[in-house]
Amino acid sequence: MSDSVTLPTGALDTNTGLAVMHLFKELIEKENVTIVMTTHDTNLMELGDVVYEMEDGMIGR
């Protein structure tokens, strides 16, 4: 799988990454879909409805 699929905002500048996130939010609201995304960008994490973090191999909220 290519990085553009696994990390949809990884190679984008900040503004374009935020635009992709807003597109995801629009899809969620209009199409009633669920999007599961991983990121290291805390700014993008704040846009999620539910956020889980991994630390020392453990997943928590």
Spell out the domain ranges in the chain. 3-60
Give residue 29's pLDDT: 93
4 CB contacts (<8 Å, ≥6 apart)? 11
pLDDT tens over the chain, length 61 residues: 444 455 556 677 888 888 888 999 999 999 999 988 888 888 888 888 899 998 999 998 7
pLDDT at 2: 47
Q: Enter the pTM of the model.
A: 0.65
Q: Are 52 and 60 a contacting pair, CB within 8 Å? A: yes
Q: Interior CA angle at 29 toward 5 and 23, to 5°?
A: 40
pLDDT of 8 reads 58
Q: What is the pLDDT of residue 12?
A: 78
Which position has the token pair 């374009």?
A: 16
Q: Hunting for tokens 């889980």 — which residue is that?
A: 52
